[in-house]
Amino acid sequence: MAEQVGLEEFELCERCQSQQPLGFKFCGNCGVRNESIQKEQINSAFQIESNLKFLFAYIFIVLFALIINTYIEETFLTVVTVSISFAIIDLVFAIRQPDCFNLLKKQLSVVPIVLVVATFSVTGILVTFLGNGLNELLFQESYSYMYPFYETEFPLLYALLFVAVFPAIFEELAFRGFVFNNLEKVAGMKSAVWGSSFLFALVHFSIISLIWLVPFALLLTYIRRKSGSIGYGMIGHFCHNATVVYLDYAAVL
Amino acid sequence: MEAITCSNCKSDLRTEDVFCSECGYPERGTDIEKNNFERRIILKKRVVKDAEKKVDSVRIMLYILAGLNIVIGTYYVFLSGDEFLFIDGIAALITGIVFIGCAIWVNNQPLTGVMAAFIFWIVLQILAAIVDPASIFSGILLKIVIIGVFIKGINSAKDAVKYSEQLASMKVK
Ligand SMILES: [Zn+2]
């Protein structure tokens, strides 16, 4: 009876060469697990392994660059160099997994943009006052994002470019883009939301800042998840940083 | 041979089969083959159990690290009355809370939880080393032990997933 069935519905067991139904799990004749099905499992395990390697490679390169950065004196030239270096790191990783660029394709609508701009301008104001208060407590002095830019012709313009525009584009592409995507494949949605936000906060290298950086990142991740786009996040991130820079600039005036 | 169902997974065996094609159980095999099947299951279960124990040891370590940070943080913030220690105390409290969060994470998602905790711990060491490079070598033995526990934990979390999947394919709960 079994001989009547077409040959293509059978495959041979790799160990005992007996005919087994296509896609069998275990060989009925010798009991060995089917290699080709196992290979599929190995492939999915291999995929997770490669996602993990990608994440670890990114995190370690960023941490290494951050360590070097702490030993570099802050001048306009070094700020430009460091900003461009981080942008190149993020771009190289993004190009290796280009599906994160799909998160930019979606058309943005006006109402959400207005909401995002308003919300993140407010967070910028809040963080400025919270941060200034803490800095004065911590160092008895206030830190300014503007210092490296006073030597230039247009301090505010350059500060906005390197403190607001660059981080907004590349940190969103990284943490709400490929970091989120890889974490989601490895561990699911929930771990991706918390993991990408936590990593984002960690690479700012300040334990105290975790207080506002984690909620800030969670908000950006939430927007990315709801909208399926990192465009809103880039706008919001820019507004937040731009507000901080502008308040810094205005305070010195 | 007459048609029978597998005594391990209850699926029907084809008449010419010795082994169940769904779970690999030697339904028409010898007693030795049946014993081997049972032994393979017991071995895999033991590996999963060992792996879970090692992941648990990471969790306990995280709770200890959290406890130490919270005790120090509480002392600095509320009891020392020193303005400079105040901010260190806040940082210690945050560190403690993050470690507790990681321990809960390890419970739900062993692999990513252990990795998140490991990365956080590394960043803490880097931050300490930036402030005081000599801090890398203080308590170096303890640090090596901690790194060992983390790496074992990551490998164990992977093993637990891998062998649980194999057991599931053998229809073992
Ligand atoms: Zn069976």
Task: Give contacts of A67 with chain B, Cβ < 8 Å.
Answer: 126, 130
pLDDT score at A169: 96
Q: Do A25 and B124 touch (CB under 8 A)?
A: no
Q: Do A28 and B20 touch (CB under 8 A)?
A: yes
- CA B8 – CA A101 distance, rounded (Å): 49
Which DSSP string do the residues of A110-166 spell out, in sequence order? HHHHHHHHHHHHHHHHHHHHHHHHHHHHHHSS---TTGGGTTSS-HHHHHIIIIIIH
Q: Between the ranges A168-182, A199-213, B153-167, where is the mean pLDDT highest? A: A168-182
Mean pLDDT of all residues in A134-162: 80
Instruction: State in Å: Cα A53 to ligand 1 middle.
Output: 37
A134, A133, A153, A131: which is closest to A145 by C-alpha?
A131
Q: pLDDT tens digits, residue range B48-77?
A: 999 999 999 999 999 999 999 999 999 998
DSSP state of B12: B
Distance from CA of B134 to the nearest CA of A (A): 15
For chain A, the domains span 50-252
Nearest residue, CB atoms, B94 vs list A41, A186, A211: A211
Establish if B86 touches chain A: CB-CB under 8 angstroms: yes
Q: Name which residue leads in pLDDT, A144 or A70.
A: A70
Nearest residue, CB atoms, A29 vs list B17, B87, B90: B17
Q: Which residues contact A40 (CB under 8 A, 6 or more apart)?
A: none
The pTM is what?
Answer: 0.86
Q: pLDDT-derived band of residue A43, with 50, 70 and 90 as boundaries? A: low
pLDDT score at B161: 85
pLDDT score at A68: 93
Q: Do B94 and A67 touch (CB under 8 A)?
A: no
Q: Do A41 and B26 touch (CB under 8 A)?
A: no
Q: Name which residue leads in pLDDT, B107 or B82.
A: B107
pLDDT score at A1: 39
Instruction: State in Å: Cα A195 to ligand 1 middle.
Output: 40
A139, A20, A6: which is closest to B14 by C-alpha?
A20
pLDDT score at B26: 92
Mean pLDDT of all residues in B138-145: 93
Instruction: State in Å: Cα B159 to ligand 1 middle.
Output: 24
Q: Name which residue leads in pLDDT, B170 or A41.
A: B170
Residue of A nearest to B92 (CA): A207
Q: Is B64 helix (H, G, I), strand (E, B) or coil?
A: helix
Judge whether residue B14 has pLDDT over 80.
yes
pLDDT score at B136: 87
- CA A22 – CA A36 distance, rounded (Å): 10
pLDDT score at A158: 93
